[in-house]
Each structure stands twice: as structure tokens, then as C-alpha cells.
Structure 1
Amino acid sequence: MTVVATKAGHGIGTSPVRPDGILKVTGEFAFSSDLWADRMLWGATLRSPHPRARIRGIDLTGALALPGVHAVLTAEDVPGAKHYGLEHRDQPVLAMGQVRYAGEPVAIVAADHPETARRAAAAIAVDYEVLAPIVDSEAALDPAAERVHEGGNLLRHVPIRKGPQDATAPVVVTGEYEVGMQDQAFLGPESGLAIPAEDGGVDLFIATQWLHGDLGQVAACLGLPPDKVRLSLAGVGGAFGGREDVSMQVHACMLALHTGRPVKMVYSREESFHGHVHRHPARLRYEHGADADGRLVYVKARIVLDGGAYASTSMAVVANATTLGVGPYRVPSVTIDGYAVYTNNPPCGAMRGFGAVQACFAYESQMDRLADALGLDPVELRARNALEPGDTMPTGQVVSGPAPVAELLRRVQAAPPPGPVTDPRERPGGAANTTRGEGVRRGVGYGIGIKNVGFSEGFDDYSTARVRLEVVGGEAAAVVHTAAAEVGQGLVTVQAQIARTELGVEQVTVATADTSVGSAGSSSASRQTYVTGGAVKAACEAVRQEVLDRAGVPDGRLAGGRLLSAEGEVVADLAAVLGDRPVERTVEWRHRPTFPIDPRTGQGDAHVQYAFAAHRATVDVDVELGLVRVVEIATAQDVGRALHPQSVRGQIAGGTAQGLGLAVMEEIQVVDGLIRNPSFTDYLIPTMLDVPPMRIEVLELGDPEAPYGLRGVGEPPTISSTPAVVAAIRAATGLALRRVPVRPEHLTGT
């Protein structure tokens, strides 16, 4: 249980201290890797060194001979379904007959010491017939290409056809763009603890984004009914999409059930790079046509996402990339084809922005090229074409609620510019710079993006909340229980704020998220505050109404631990009304429905809600050395309603930093299917020295369809910050820069 210390007035719209905040800052927070159980064994995984190979044989003799080894398991030992997957169950629990990517699990080991487990895994001898990997996504689309899976290499084709398909325009710009593979780079590698239970089931304590998503897959692979597999959320060290997919969950449970002892698995950082999905690398080809005044006439695009060896969420990611593929703009004619493709590269799936990131880099680069061709200010061009309420998306869906696209752009444009850099340590290259700044040029760039909130295309997207109001120590207190994963976004605090607001109590306990309560869906798609917040609000309303009915005051309200009449007069103390009869309600809450898009035209009301963010980046570039320093970022975002203003600003700052990373440094280097930089020594992420000062402007325009009018916050800043930074580098250098991340050699021609 997490007891949230409360004070009067700490409801929605305030910023109470997060209960996990101080513990995380001081290093005292218990993450899943800190779990411990009596008689616990350690698990380890043997992974394929090859991106594509047939398995001719596996010799376990060397591993089994080591003292302290309790189990060595292969695909033959999987007790239930041999495959798992979020959307398409195509990924084997352990490799069966072949491996499709470097790092694919082949065997698992349990031993009484982690080093013994690692040595045992290394002692397993696998006879591989190495095959040439399929690593080029465009080549994989060729019907004559070798197949990664028997069904072919095309995972999904999403066509979008809106308006006349023969549109022409007097001003046309085209461009080809590329986005590299980005890692979520979360703090805590994959880890968890599985404990066998007396009923023949298993209890799994796991760092995940989706408890019930894991439950369905794990139970099926173990051959157990769902009620025999119980999942509880352990401390999560960040996620960003990388924990949506199953990693070591089934493996730890298999070993625990096989040995009859608790088994803990903790990935190393290098293993983590192979153990979770990444952002899809993308190739994008765009053509924009506009009239002489800069009004968009048509957009044509081809988007190819490399999904890697297994499906994960690639089919949904490519749908987002295409349905959001023209950006937050009015376009009467749209022709887009999006493809998600199997290769023998590492699997790719969910990452913050979920397809919208790749498309935004391309369409915003195109808007800058179009502005240049027309001789227009880039903000003015965007504002002329900005979506407004009542406009239609490429899918034909009407934009409802606020759509402050032009306003966000104007606000970041109007922000005061940063001054000149006087401290040499603040120049490109920092303290190690070898010049005095003679080759430094300054540039300013803009970007704006659009992101859907919540699951789409008819997915039954809901959350469940159980709320109990009772008397504790003579005072009314609330308990909130959901399966929503707190992954660092502050959801535990928000649930308590909602309960405090709706029930008028000071003490709120947020129970540990687990599968003993109904599903809350995934902590992804910027949806949890919207959907689980909506469920908690609805459950609180049901509890409140029962209390009011019990007191015979159906039109009253609860505040300050008291029951008030509609006129605000105190009717009774809430604890006295409750007595020894607590009130508990469980509610499933759904947002407005979505619908599948037409498979031929891409038309349909696919999304729940749209969110927008704009960025202005100011950069200094040393054009002689190819070094970049982001001097400042100004951003504006409509959040509908800020339930916890401090957390909202933190989400915007963090998302912006992640987009900055993709712009100038973050890329998993994959060569012939092999990851060449699986460490934070070689995979670079922004540090506090790389993240510039940020001017953050929060708009609260309110969505009438959403609880409290809120709008998803977490993903939009990641989407538009990348093209803004690159646009600023272009302005400083005059270079085309059609690939991210931008590297020094792209700036110097070396």
C-alpha cells in the first residue's frame, strides 16, 4: 500500500509532493531489481549471437554439470502456448528451430548465484547454421525477397486516401527522410521475481506497463488459468514504451514452477538493449503541393517502418504514422501509404510518440522547405494551414474540441529570444572545445506536432477502479485500487488527488497495482490520467452518491470530511455517516468509442482525442567541428486541464529532452543485424549539460469530452522538439539535413 500524506486543498489543480519523489532522488526507492525472497534462485538467459540462423542442436551438458545449477530449460520445456505477443502472437518464448534476431532467447537457467547462472548459460552449446540476415526494410518489401516469417515480410499496409487523388499545385517540394533506431533508455533494466504458489500457480512481481497485458500472455504460455497467475507491480524505473512487451516474465515463472523456488531475473544494461523493443527506424518520402499563397493543396507520402523480427505493436505504430502523417494541418487531398515490415533487425514497437515522431520529422522538414520555396516565414506558413475545430483529418475524422495549433506557434514565436553566449563553457563542445567560437553560427527553428491520445481503431479501451470509503482512526479515509502502472509519470499522486477532490477526505491510500482488480490497460498512449483518472472519478462519484443517499441528502456534496447540503451547510460528519459500514464501488470506465479505419481508404473515426505541442529551438553550431549546442527551447502545449501542474511541466520538459536526444545524439547502431553500441558509454543520451533552459507555456483550454477537461500530456513534446532542433541546425548551417540524429560528419562533410 502507498499511503499518500494529504493536506486540505491538495486536490486536482494543485501540486502535492509525490510520495515516491524523495525516495527516488535519494536512491532509497525499491525498484524491481531490489526484490528478494527466501531460498531465491537467480535466472539467466542464453541469447543468439546471430541475427538469422537455424538451430541444429542444443547441448545442455556443460550447464547442467555446474554445481549450483537447478534448471536449464529450452523451447521443449514451455508448458503452454509456445508464442506470445501484444497484437500478434508470433514471438517464441524460447527459440524454436531458428533465431530471427541477434539477442533472441534460446535457453534459460536457474542457479543459486547470479554469476553461476551466467556461467551456466555460457556453457550451453548451440549448433547454428548461420544464414544471411534480411536487414533492409525496403528490400524486404520486394515480393522476391527471402521471408523472415512464412507469411511474408509485410506486417501491415495502411493506405490513406482523402479527397481528389489527381490534385496538382503550382509549388511543389519533395524530400526523402530517415529516422534512426532510438532506445527508451529507461533507468531500470528489465527485472522481476516469480514465486511458486501452493495452489500450483505463481505470483509474479514485475516492472511493467500493462499488468493485464502481461497476464494474458504469461498465463497462456504457462498453460495455467489466469486466476493461477497473479501479477503485482514492482518498482518501475521508467518505461517510455519499452515495458509494454513481455521480456523475462514467462522465463522467470517457468523457472520458478520448474524448481519450486522463487526465481529472480535482472538484465544487465547490455542485455536490456537486446531484451526490449525500440523505436522503429523509418524511411519516409514526402511530396507537398501548395498554391502561391502557401495554402496546402495536397500531400503524398510513403512511410516504411522497420519492425524487426517480431510484430510487437508495429501494426498500430504504422497506423499512427499514417493517420497523423500530414501533421496538424488542413489538407484537402491526401495520399499516404504506410508499411510495417519484418526484418532480422532487433524487434521494434512502442516508444513515446508511437509513429507520430517519425512522421513529424518528415512533414515538418517539408513545411520548412515549402516556406523557403514560397519565401514565407515558416511560422506564418504553418499558421495559414493550421487545423481548427471542425476541420477534418486525413481519415475524414472531424477535429472536435480545442485545436490551438496557430496559437501555440504564435506563443513560442513571441517568446523572448536567448541572449548571446559569453561563457566559453556554453559554446558547442563545452569546456573541451578547442576553438574560441570563430566558426559558431546561431540558428532558430520551429516544429509543431499532433498526437492521438488513447488506444485507437475500435480497441476496447477502458480502465477499472475500486474505491472504498471507510473510517480509520475516527476519520473518513479512502482507498483507491487500480491496475494502472506507475512508471514515473506521477499516476499514484493523481489518483489520490482525484479521490481527495471527489470525496472530500484528507487521507487517501493508493493500493499496490495488481491483477486482483480489473484491467487498467497500458501506461502508454498518454492515456492513464484520462482513462484511469476517469475510472477513479466515476468510482468516487458512485461512492459519494451512496453516502449521500444513506444520509438522505441526495443533492449534497462531501468536503473537509463532512457532508454538506447543496447550499453548503454542514449536515453531518462523514465518519458518523459511515460508522462501521464502509462504502465500496468498482467501476469500469470507457471514453467515447473509436472505429477501425477502412482498409482501402483509411477513412474512419480512429482516434479518441488529439493533443498538440509546439517548439522553438535556438542552437549554436560550430560549422568547422560539426558540434551543436542547443541554447534554449521554448515550448507551448495545450493540456486541457493540469491536474498536477508541476508534474505536467516535468512531463513536457522530459519529453522535450527525449526529442532533443533523437535530434542530435541518440541512435542504436545496427550493422548487419547486430547492435554495435549496447551501453550508455556508446549509446548517448542527453545529460543535464546537454539539456538547455526551457521556456514552458501551459495552456488549459479544456476538452469537454474528457474528465476534468484534461488532455494527454506525455508524448506531444517528444514529437515536435526533434524537428525544431533540426530546423535550427539547418538555419545555422544551410544544410538539408534529412536524417536524424544529426551527426558531426553531416555538418562538416567528412
Structure 2
Amino acid sequence: MVSITTTRSRDILGTSALRPDGIPKVKGSFEFSSDANDDSMAWGATLRSPYPSARIRSIDVSGALRIAGVHAVITAKDVPGKATYGLISQDQPVFASDVVRYMGEPVAAVAADHPETARRALSAIIVDYEVMKPLTDPEDAISGSHPPIHPDGNIFRHQRIIRGDQTIVGDVVVEDTYEIGMQDQAFLGLEAALARPLSGRGVELIVATQWLHEDRKQIADCLGLAEDDVFLTLGGVGGAFGAREDISLQVHCCLLALAIGRPVKMQYGREESFFGHVHRHPAKIWMRHHASKTGKILRIEARMVFDGGAYTSTSPAVLINGITHTQGPYTCDNATVDGYAVRTNNPPCGAMRGFGVVQACFAHESQMDKLAEACGLSPVEIRLRNAMKTGDPLITGQLVESVAPVARCITETDVSDQEISAI
């Protein structure tokens, strides 16, 4: 394990701070979670559903268990504690048992002497699926035209924001619908973990994560252990950007280690990483801006629909972030906003840089450009005329006491752009 020295000195203004992990990374001695090994370890692998929506009729693991070098095959029936987990709502199964709700959902896991043996074992597991029609359009989730795909229903959260006069119509009105696709964090250090069973009762896990204590709570619940019996060590994190807030292989790795009584390592490739973690929410956003002839925003109407995929993750919080940033860094006294975060058979979505604000930003900044054109102003001028300042209210009614210098940022960015264009 590489030793990293830190300092408590705070007298660093005006200097370049040395990253504690900078030198080990440059030297190639920094240990990422994928570098964790044990001489006695087995290798774990996960069987995933090839369908976005299907009923599981049966799972036959006998063929996998007959392969030499395979030590264990586990499914939902082997989870000793809580069968589901999640950050806000514990609605995501450790392993699908009766139905699968997205392509790539875990169905079983194996432990074997070699990664290739583990992959062969996965191929030998026979799952009898009854394929069903998937819910892929968020609007069908809202309208109720598709049956619920989960006992908790197809809507994670519906939230409205109503502020000021709802009857105002501007001299200038611009509107459009914006669609933002799913994005993946695509961090370079793929998911990896090493679990060691402890003598008596308990497990140790080395894993790269953004949320050690939340991970430990969820892992302990699923293992049927006290939190004090689950020991987590933060492995070197090779990027995260929100994707490591939710757990991925943590419970699977621990279950396998406890099942065979020896260390187990799991490591995703790039394709499995796409299946194994949450993504940025796709969103469909309609906005209508009402403004005076001089370009002053008078009222905003908006409807936002965030596709959260099969399980909750942080979708309700992402939605709230999105709708509360409808206006962007611009003043607006009147607003009507309707927001939905919905469940579909698409891949689960959760945290990614911006956490719902990026989707709203794409829409409101596009609207500002349209408004500038409609008012005969430059994109810079329309923003300066509406720039938020300290003491202005948000559409939620909150007064902004420490707003960024919006007008200055816009002006200086414009000057920089002009200087670059002149080169």
C-alpha cells in the first residue's frame, strides 16, 4: 500500500497545491481498487439479463456447478439479508428473482479459480425467460398506458413549482422542446473489488466508491450482518463523477467470499461497466419564455420529464435539482413548472456531474439564444439584462444571498471570446 502524506497547513493562497496522490500516480505506484489482490483469491463474475423486461420462469445452475474450478453459484435465494438496496428507495434487487426490469440486470454470480472459468460457468447457467413488452417511453409511464413494472409504480416523483402571476403573456414569446440523451460517466478506472471473509462473522471489502458509509449500510443490510461486521477500505478511485454513489458489485463480491470462505475479486470490463452503474438521466424539456419588448423575462413555463430507468437511485433528487434551476442565473418573478421523474425498462440513472442541472441548463440557455434573436439583441446583451444578482429570488422563493457575479462572468467571457477570435 502506497503511503500518502498530507498537510494541515492552510497558508496556500496564491500557490499551487501539491496533490497528495500526484507523485504516486506519476510514478505508477498508486494503487487503484483493481490492483488489490490476495494469493488465495477466487474470481467472481455476474450473469446479466439479455432482456429489458422478462419474467424469470426458472434458473438452472447445475451445469455451472459441474465445471471444474467453480466454487459457488449464487442467486436471489442465497441472499441472507435484505433482498433489495438503494439510496433513496430500496427497490433494486441484489439479484432479479421473479422479473428483470432492464437489460443487464444481475441474475446470478459465480466464483471460480480463474476469470475464464467464471465466464464459462456463466454461459452454463440456464435461465428460462418469458419476454415481455418493455416500457421505454417515459410519456407512457406518466399517462398510465403501460402497466406498472414495479410494485411502487412507474412514477418516482411528480413535482410542480408555481410562482407569481400565471396569466402574464409577454410581448415576445419563444418556446421549444429539448431532448437530452443518456450519458455515461466512462471513468477510466473500471469497477473492481476484493472481499475477504473474516473469521467468525463478518467481511472486509476493498472497493473504490464515493460513499463508504452508505455502501457499508446497504451491504450490511443485504448480508444480514451488523454494520460493525462489515469493514470497508477505500481503494484508489480511478474517476467517479457520480457513478460510484450507488453500489454495483459490492454485495455480489461479499456474498461470494462468504459463500466459499475465501477472498474473491470481481472486476468489470468496459461493457459490463456500462451495465453495472447508473448514468445521466435522459430528459425531455419543454420551455416557453415570455419577455417584454426590451428582452426582460416576465414569465417561464416549463415541463420536464426525467427518465430514471428501472430503479429509483437518486431520481427524485435529480428531478428537484432540474426544476429548481429552470430559470438558470436569470431573474424571473413568475413561473409555472411541471416535473416528472419516471420508471422505465431503460438502464437505471442516478448521479452524474450537475445532478439534473445540466439538462435544465441546456434548455434554458437555448431559450436565451432564441429570445435574443426574437428581441433583436445579442446573446450577451439578453443575458446581461436578466442577470441575477445578490438578493434576487429564485422561482422557489428562496433569496440568493451569495450569487456568483453573473453579469461580470458574462462580460469577461465575451471579451475573452473576442480576443480569441481576433487571433
TM-score (norm 1): 0.55
Change in Cα spacing, 1:340 to 1:402, as seen in structure 2 (3 Å) is closer
**Residue 185 of structure 1, CA deviation:** 0.9
Q: Counterpart of 1:294 in 2: which secondary structure? A: coil
Distance in 1 (CA, whole Å) between partners of 2:45 and 2:160 is 43
Distance in 1 (CA, whole Å) between partners of 2:395 and 2:104 is 39
AA aligned to 1:91 is Q
AA aligned to 1:120 is A
Distance in 2 (CA, whole Å) between partners of 1:298 and 1:5 is 50
Partner residue in 2 for 1:89: 90
Alignment of 1:104-143 (within 5 A): 104-143=105-144
**Residue 267 of structure 1, CA deviation:** 0.4
Partner residue in 2 for 1:204: 205
Q: Counterpart of 2:248 in 1: which secondary structure? A: coil
CA contact (8 A) 2:329 2:406 kept: yes
Partner residue in 1 for 2:343: 342
Task: Return the match for 2:419 from 411, 417, 420.
Answer: 417
CA contact (8 A) 2:53 2:103 kept: yes
Residues 41-90 of structure 1: CA deviation (Å, up to 9, x unaligned): 11000000000000000010111011111110000000000000011000
Residues 351-394 of structure 1: CA deviation (Å, up to 9, x unaligned): 00000000000000000000000001111111111111111001
**Residue 397 of structure 1, CA deviation:** 0.4
Q: Does residue 145 of structure 1 match 2:185?
A: no
Change in Cα spacing, 1:7 to 1:153, as seen in structure 2 (3 Å) is closer
AA aligned to 2:419 is P
Greater relative contact order structure (CA < 8 Å, 6+ sep): 2
Partner residue in 2 for 1:382: 383
AA aligned to 1:74 is T
Change in Cα spacing, 1:419 to 1:69, as seen in structure 2 (3 Å) is same
CA contact (8 A) 1:330 1:392 kept: yes
**Residue 210 of structure 1, CA deviation:** 0.2
CA contact (8 A) 2:64 2:125 kept: yes
Q: Counterpart of 2:143 in 1: which secondary structure? A: coil
Partner residue in 1 for 2:73: 72
Partner residue in 1 for 2:189: 188
Q: Counterpart of 2:419 in 1: which secondary structure? A: coil
Partner residue in 2 for 1:52: 53
AA aligned to 1:256 is A
Q: Does residue 315 of structure 1 match 2:316?
A: yes
Residues 695-748 of structure 1: CA deviation (Å, up to 9, x unaligned): xxxxxxxxxxxxxxxxxxxxxxxxxxxxxxxxxxxxxxxxxxxxxxxxxxxxxx
CA contact (8 A) 1:294 1:374 kept: yes
AA aligned to 2:295 is G
AA aligned to 1:365 is S
Q: Does residue 174 of structure 1 match 2:175?
A: yes
Q: Does residue 300 of structure 1 match 2:301?
A: yes
**Residue 3 of structure 1, CA deviation:** 3.6
CA contact (8 A) 1:43 1:255 kept: yes
Change in Cα spacing, 1:419 to 1:289, as seen in structure 2 (3 Å) is closer
Residues 158-178 of structure 1: CA deviation (Å, up to 9, x unaligned): 101111111211110010100
Distance in 2 (CA, whole Å) between partners of 1:373 and 1:193 is 58
Residues 571-625 of structure 1: CA deviation (Å, up to 9, x unaligned): xxxxxxxxxxxxxxxxxxxxxxxxxxxxxxxxxxxxxxxxxxxxxxxxxxxxxxx
Change in Cα spacing, 1:341 to 1:14, as seen in structure 2 (3 Å) is same
CA contact (8 A) 2:4 2:21 kept: no
Residues 232-289 of structure 1: CA deviation (Å, up to 9, x unaligned): 1001100000100010000000011111101110001100000000000010100000
Q: Does residue 20 of structure 1 match 2:3?
A: no
Q: Does residue 29 of structure 1 match 2:42?
A: no
**Residue 9 of structure 1, CA deviation:** 8.1
Partner residue in 1 for 2:369: 368
Shifted more, 298-307 versus 133-142: the winner is 133-142
Partner residue in 1 for 2:63: 62
**Residue 139 of structure 1, CA deviation:** 1.9
Structure 1: stretches of 5+ with no match in the other structure: 422-750
Alignment of 1:710-749 (within 5 A): none
AA aligned to 1:171 is V
Distance in 1 (CA, whole Å) between partners of 2:302 and 2:339 is 8
Alignment of 1:221-620 (within 5 A): 221-415=222-416, 416-419=418-421
Distance in 2 (CA, whole Å) between partners of 1:92 and 1:13 is 50
Distance in 2 (CA, whole Å) between partners of 1:357 and 1:7 is 35
CA contact (8 A) 2:91 2:311 kept: yes
AA aligned to 1:106 is V
**Residue 6 of structure 1, CA deviation:** 6.1
AA aligned to 1:417 is E
AA aligned to 1:312 is S
AA aligned to 1:307 is G
Distance in 1 (CA, whole Å) between partners of 2:68 and 2:422 is 65
Distance in 2 (CA, whole Å) between partners of 1:291 and 1:215 is 54
CA contact (8 A) 2:72 2:112 kept: yes
**Residue 16 of structure 1, CA deviation:** 2.9
AA aligned to 1:71 is A
Q: Counterpart of 1:173 in 2: which secondary structure? A: strand
AA aligned to 1:268 is G
AA aligned to 2:300 is V
Shifted more, 54-63 versus 162-171: the winner is 162-171
AA aligned to 1:294 is G
Distance in 1 (CA, whole Å) between partners of 2:311 and 2:28 is 36
CA contact (8 A) 1:75 1:94 kept: yes
AA aligned to 1:70 is H
The percent of aligned pairs where both chains have the same amino acid is 58
Q: Counterpart of 2:255 in 1: which secondary structure? A: helix
The alignment's C-alpha RMSD in Å is 1.6
**Residue 132 of structure 1, CA deviation:** 1.0
Distance in 1 (CA, whole Å) between partners of 2:240 and 2:12 is 27
**Residue 11 of structure 1, CA deviation:** 3.8
Q: Counterpart of 1:243 in 2: which secondary structure? A: coil
**Residue 13 of structure 1, CA deviation:** 5.0
AA aligned to 2:161 is I
Change in Cα spacing, 1:12 to 1:196, as seen in structure 2 (3 Å) is farther
CA contact (8 A) 2:310 2:345 kept: yes
Residues 387-429 of structure 1: CA deviation (Å, up to 9, x unaligned): 11111001100001243111100010111432589xxxxxxxx
CA contact (8 A) 1:318 1:340 kept: yes
Change in Cα spacing, 1:212 to 1:267, as seen in structure 2 (3 Å) is same
Change in Cα spacing, 1:150 to 1:375, as seen in structure 2 (3 Å) is same
TM-score (norm 2): 0.96
Q: Counterpart of 2:308 in 1: which secondary structure? A: strand
CA contact (8 A) 1:30 1:235 kept: yes
Q: Counterpart of 1:128 in 2: which secondary structure? A: strand
**Residue 38 of structure 1, CA deviation:** 2.6
CA contact (8 A) 2:388 2:403 kept: no
CA contact (8 A) 1:54 1:129 kept: yes
**Residue 225 of structure 1, CA deviation:** 0.5
Q: Counterpart of 1:4 in 2: which secondary structure? A: coil
AA aligned to 2:292 is D
Distance in 2 (CA, whole Å) between partners of 1:373 and 1:99 is 49
Structure 2: stretches of 5+ with no match in the other structure: none
Change in Cα spacing, 1:387 to 1:115, as seen in structure 2 (3 Å) is same
